[in-house]
Amino acid sequence: MATAPSPLRTTAGNLCLGSAPDSWGVWFAEDDHQVPPTRFLDELVLAGYEWLELGPYGYLPTDPQRLKEELDARGLQVSGGTAFGALHRPEAWDEMLAHVRQVAALTAAAGAHHLVLIPPMYRDEKSGAYTESSVLTAPQWAGFGRAADRLGKLLLDEYDIRLVVHPHADSHIQTQPEIERLLNESDSRYTNLCLDTGHVAYGGGDNLDLIRRYGERVGYVHIKQMDPEILAQVAAEELSFGEAVRRGVCVSPPAGVPNPAEVVTELARLDAELFVIVEQDLYPCAPEVPLPIAVSTREHLADCGLTETRRPQRHR
């Protein structure tokens, strides 16, 4: 069984570092191109991480006791759960809520207090085909913030879990104006932001500006970088996110944008204790690719002052 190195401490004492299945090329509950979950968990430990996000529901065990056994055997802890949810489709609310409840129950059973909600992409992850319009109608926007708050209140009241909405490429929450509109039209008691630094950059946003102006709404962080040259190809060729990932848009620090040292510095100034989860979109990739990247990324973030493994005590 893999054993973890001794935890290190950081100058950014309000931040707690972790990783996720995404950094091992995992996008789906089941897929022949992905490493098996036991390999992911073993390599996560070998790479020096103690905390993990659960990733797509069904990839890791969904039975709470079995999940606990797998994590306890490796000394791992859970930072949060991950779900996809269409807040702009009232007709799909019940189906979405059923899925979110599954994720929330497992997340709570694992002792975590955050649920990362990712808006569904309007282009297919594999083919790049459009599955719906890239632009929300006025009625869809009008209900978006209210739907987020309704879900966030339910999660808080029933599961003691905080909802953090995750901007994502090829989704309706991608650009900085879209992110700001969601925050301005929702209630900080129930809806906050999972700041994904790579997806913000992908959408042309300014991570440092968001942290400085909306720091009180940052409840959770995914830290990643994007290659500016491939971002230019995305704009010029109207590439789907899936195609951009296949071209290598998501890169290891310090090769892309934003600069993680600047992000860590700004996050360290916030009056909040936050999970900062490493992600690097790699799907699909050869099985031997993720581990060295996970190690080098952790080492680079350590140089930026981010190596903390302590659980945040104050949740947003």
Is 44 contained in some domain?
yes
Q: Can you say whether the dihedral through the CA atoms of 48, 54, 58, 61 is positive or negative?
A: positive
Q: pLDDT confidence of 93, banded at 50, 70, 90? A: very high
Q: What pLDDT is recorded for position 125?
A: 83
Instruction: Yes or no: say if 186 and 153 are a contact pair by the CB < 8 Å rule.
Output: no
Q: What percent of the chain has pLDDT over 70?
A: 94
Helix axes of 207-214 and 176-184: crossing angle, nearest 10 degrees: 10
Which pTM was predicted? Answer: 0.93
- Expressed as residue numbers, the domain containing 22 is 15-303
Q: Is the pLDDT of residue 316 over 90?
A: no
Q: What percent of the chain has pLDDT over 90?
A: 90
Q: What value, to the nearest 5°, has the Cα angle with vertex 307 and ends 305 and 308?
A: 110
Q: Is the pLDDT of residue 16 over 60?
A: yes
Instruction: Yes or no: say if 316 and 162 are a contact pair by the CB < 8 Å rule.
Output: yes
Is 2 contained in some domain?
no
Is 313 contained in some domain?
no
Q: What pLDDT is recorded for position 12?
A: 77
Please tell me the total count of domains within the chain.
1
Is 4 contained in some domain?
no
Residues 6+ apart with CB under 8 A from 270: 14, 211, 215, 216, 218
Q: Both ends of the chain: CA-CA distance in Å?
A: 35
The domain that holds 168 is classified in CATH as 3.20.20.150
DSSP string, 134-185: SS--HHHHHHHHHHHHHHHHHHHHHH--EEEE---TTSSS-SHHHHHHHHHT
Residue-wise pLDDT for 146-179, tens only, equals 999 999 999 999 999 999 999 999 999 999 999 9
Coil vs helix vs strand at 113: coil
Is 9 contained in some domain?
no
Is 8 contained in some domain?
no
Is 112 contained in some domain?
yes
Is 312 contained in some domain?
no
Q: pLDDT confidence of 13, banded at 50, 70, 90? A: confident
Q: What pLDDT is recorded for position 248?
A: 95
